[in-house]
Structure 1
């Protein structure tokens, strides 16, 4: 006798309580607000958008976006339509006039979802412009949108040939009210890179002959290239969350996150005993090893193996052996036994060791560190 298929719906994981959590991620909303203010000052007090894509760089867009709106952000950018649909009610509760944009553009068949949810696409091709125009004509209304012009990154946006076609056939914008023409800098974190000036010139050229609308070019690092790059709207992302936008100089922004994880066990070893997968670390004499409840499943990347540092009772200690999925090991030989014991929290990210320093040890960038932070930590929001 045939049986009916059984379907189950997975429930969302419950956030761990502080008592049961193996780790704690503390997010300073006050520091996020201060960073936004500092960036706006560097941008000559002109309007700044709030970029909260990837769940506000992993820190929680529902918690972060209202802070930035309160600081004056009236344009908010996410990457995907699903993010925008989830965020729209949050923004509506904050302020009645916040424009919400989707950077990845207008996927085929999503026009109604954009319009019905009061979400604006960033139009990245002539095909998307034509589809948005058709939607406007069909609904007999004017639909706003941002339009991205590729200035040399060759990622998203109208390439030069499509921009020329649009310039020659402005009727393709029928029913569309451009809210801004935007582009994106590829090398802004290197002020001496020649592509910065090349993209600036290309952006100026691309906008000629197009309808008048505000312009936007600057990401976080672009703000620090100077007023020639500023135009009308800045779009800082990672710097708001504490990543240094000027890598060759001291960071102009505050640290935002602190990551702590709990010691599960401490054991004494001696030469030639090894620690972790692959036996990549061997003791050269008596040592104490603390096993800590964080691993690459929690965003503490495997590439940090044997290169990272942590702080136990205020003392710097090395990460030894390979990072595994749920665990890492610290050499706590130099820490007083009573200060390195099961249940004790250790600092993996914090005042002594920020996101950029951890990224350098991992061979990556602060963006990846932040967005990789997992959901198994207890999250605490300050301010």
Structure 2
């Protein structure tokens, strides 16, 4: 039975390749962790982790304890760190399932060490979010508590290599880490930060966006393989006259006789409402404008300039592809590509191109 549900296709082999790209960039002395938080950026946590393990990834960062338990269910030997911090009522779960909370406050560190729970320590170096500040770290040193398994922070401006705040944060991080045991592994950068240079890599990098083909640093050419393709069915083709309007509030006014396509994708499926009259889809190799307001279940595309014989009801229309990456849609929607992946991944049918399988301990 033919379905009108949009499809987000995920290339698991490309995710493996992108992990290997980062490994080659940082070299064998630097560990590479996979950030699979928020259901692997909407692409399906349980489908993504096994191919990453097969590619050589043994360390994973997740958003929540629930996600950590899901990873542990499939990967019994992986190192799993939980970004949400320490949940005091879950000490037994951390211990029995060998899960590592990322402690974001001094109180969390005290609670973890009181129960002899291994932990990672997050430092606030200028992001303005979570983590211990300098004075809190100094207090921790005086408490003489169990040392963390990893000390980490996060760059606010890594997407902009020329931004001076990157070096400010790196210097703060280096200085704060010097207060800890010199053998404590350090991690500062995520995907874009890898390209700031080896002095930012420390002992571990944490890669999320890059795994999923996103080019946060805006590199040309993109060193990462495309991972996702978002497609939807062309439901109807109709002709409208010059002067007719399309969609809610008549947001598009035809200035010529126009061949209109109606596509089964809307903002319910993660197609941003803001892309109306700003973005393009692809059909049979032709770029076609998205016109009129995006509605809940449908959008309209202008087929006038492409050969009529190529536009057929039931055809698949591409909204994200190798030649139209998520970054393009994000710019049209005034957002970031990570949001595009999460929204479409949560709302569309997901299909997977399988990676070669291995043994998953």
TM-score between the two structures when normalised by the length of structure 1: 0.88
Distance 2:345 2:139 in 1: 45
1:242 aligns with 2:225: no
Distance 1:49 1:248, change over 3 A: closer
Distance 1:230 1:145 in 2: 20
Unaligned runs of 5+ in 2: 356-361
Aligned-residue RMSD, C-alpha: 1.5
Find the partner of 2:184 among 213, 216, 238.
213
1:285 aligns with 2:259: no
Distance 2:152 2:78 in 1: 18
Provide Cα deviations, 1:167-220, integer angstroms capped at 9, x if missing partner.
2221xx2xx452111111111111111111101110111112312311111100
Unaligned runs of 5+ in 1: 1-16, 137-142
**TM-fit CA distance, 1:374:** 4.2
Distance 1:364 1:265 in 2: 30
Aligned to 2:99: 119
Aligned to 1:83: 67
**TM-fit CA distance, 1:248:** 5.3
What is the aligned length?
352
Q: Structure 1 runs of 4+ off > 6 angstroms?
A: none
Provide Cα deviations, 1:115-153, integer angstroms capped at 9, x if missing partner.
2332110011110011112223xxxxxx31111111111
Higher relative contact order (CA 8 A, sep 6+): 2
Find the partner of 1:185 among 135, 155, 168.
155
Distance 1:108 1:144, change over 3 A: closer
**TM-fit CA distance, 1:354:** 0.7
> Is the 1:245–1:251 contact (alpha carbons within 8 Å) kept by the matching residues of 2?
no
> Is the 1:91–1:98 contact (alpha carbons within 8 Å) kept by the matching residues of 2?
yes
Distance 1:266 1:373 in 2: 25
TM-score between the two structures when normalised by the length of structure 2: 0.94
Distance 2:256 2:274 in 1: 26
1:66 aligns with 2:50: yes
> Is the 1:242–1:355 contact (alpha carbons within 8 Å) kept by the matching residues of 2?
no
Residue 258 of structure 1 aligns to a residue whose secondary structure is strand
1:150 aligns with 2:120: no
